[in-house]
Structure 1
Amino acid sequence: MIGIFDSGIGGLPIARAIRDLDSTVDLLYFGDVAHAPYGTKDPEVVQQFVLRVMRHLRLEGATLLVSACNSASVTVIRPLMDLFGILESGVVEMVGPTVQALNQKQSGRIVVVATPTTVRSGMYEQGFASVGLKVSMIACPDLARAIEFGDSKAEIQRQVERAVEEVLLRGCDTLVLGCTHYPFARSFFEQAFIKHECRVEIFDPAQAVASYTLSRYSEKGEGKIRFLVSKYSPIFEQRVTELFGSHSVEEVIL
Structure 2
Amino acid sequence: MNQPANDAPIGIFDSGLGGLSVLREIRALLPHESLLYIADSKYAPYGEKPERFVEARTLQVCRWLADQGCKALVIACNTATVHAVQTLRETLPLPIIGVEPGLKPAAAASRSKVVGVLATANTLKGAKFARLLASLDGESRFLCTAGIGLVDAIERGDVGSAAVRASLAGFLQPMLDAGADTLVLGCTHYPFLTDTLVEMIGGRMALIDTGAAVARQLARRLAEHGIAAAPGAAPFTRYATTKEASHLQDMVAALLHVDAQAETIVIEPAPPLDAAAHVLR
Instruction: Tell me whether the two structures share a fold, i.e. TM-score over 0.5.
Output: yes
Letter in 2 for 1:64: A
Q: How far has the Cα of 1:169 moved from its partner?
A: 3.9
* Structure 2: segments with no counterpart, 5+ residues: 1-8, 268-281
| Equivalent residue for 2:258, pick from 237, 245, 248 | 245
The answer to whether structure 1 residue 123 and structure 2 residue 135 are counterparts is: no
Superposed CA offset, 1:125-152 (max 9, x none): 4224435534331111211111112357
Asked if the contact 2:153–2:164 (Cα under 8 Å) also holds between the matched residues in 1, the reply is: yes
* Percent of aligned pairs sharing the same letter: 31
Q: How far has the Cα of 1:183 moved from its partner?
A: 1.2
Which protein has the larger Cα radius of gyration, Structure 1 or Structure 2?
Answer: 2
Superposed CA offset, 1:173-208 (max 9, x none): 1101001111111222223224xxx61101111111
| Mapping of residues 1-254 of structure 1, within 5 Å | 1-77=9-85, 79-80=86-87, 90-95=95-100, 98-99=102-103, 101-102=105-106, 104-105=108-109, 108-130=113-135, 133-134=139-140, 135-151=142-158, 153-194=161-202, 199-218=204-223, 219=227, 220=229, 221-232=233-244, 234-242=246-254, 243=256, 245-254=258-267
Larger mean Cα displacement after TM superposition, 58-67 or 168-177: 168-177
Asked if the contact 1:148–1:235 (Cα under 8 Å) also holds between the matched residues in 2, the reply is: no
Cα separation, partners in 2 of 1:120 and 1:131, compared to 1, 3 Å:
closer
Provide the C-alpha distance between the structure 1 equivalents of 2:208 and 2:145, rounded to a whole number of angstroms. 15
Provide the C-alpha distance between the structure 1 equivalents of 2:181 and 2:107, rounded to a whole number of angstroms. 15
Larger mean Cα displacement after TM superposition, 16-25 or 121-130: 121-130
Q: How far has the Cα of 1:155 moved from its partner?
A: 1.8
Letter in 1 for 2:266: I
Larger mean Cα displacement after TM superposition, 213-222 or 62-71: 213-222
What TM-score, normalized to structure 2?
0.79
Asked if the contact 1:70–1:178 (Cα under 8 Å) also holds between the matched residues in 2, the reply is: yes
Partner of 2:3: none
Provide the C-alpha distance between the structure 2 equivalents of 1:247 and 1:106, rounded to a whole number of angstroms. 39
Q: How far has the Cα of 1:88 moved from its partner?
A: 9.7
Cα separation, partners in 2 of 1:31 and 1:52, compared to 1, 3 Å:
same
Q: How far has the Cα of 1:165 moved from its partner?
A: 1.7
Cα separation, partners in 2 of 1:109 and 1:6, compared to 1, 3 Å:
same
Letter in 2 for 1:46: V
What TM-score, normalized to structure 1?
0.87
Provide the C-alpha distance between the structure 2 equivalents of 1:61 and 1:222, rounded to a whole number of angstroms. 17
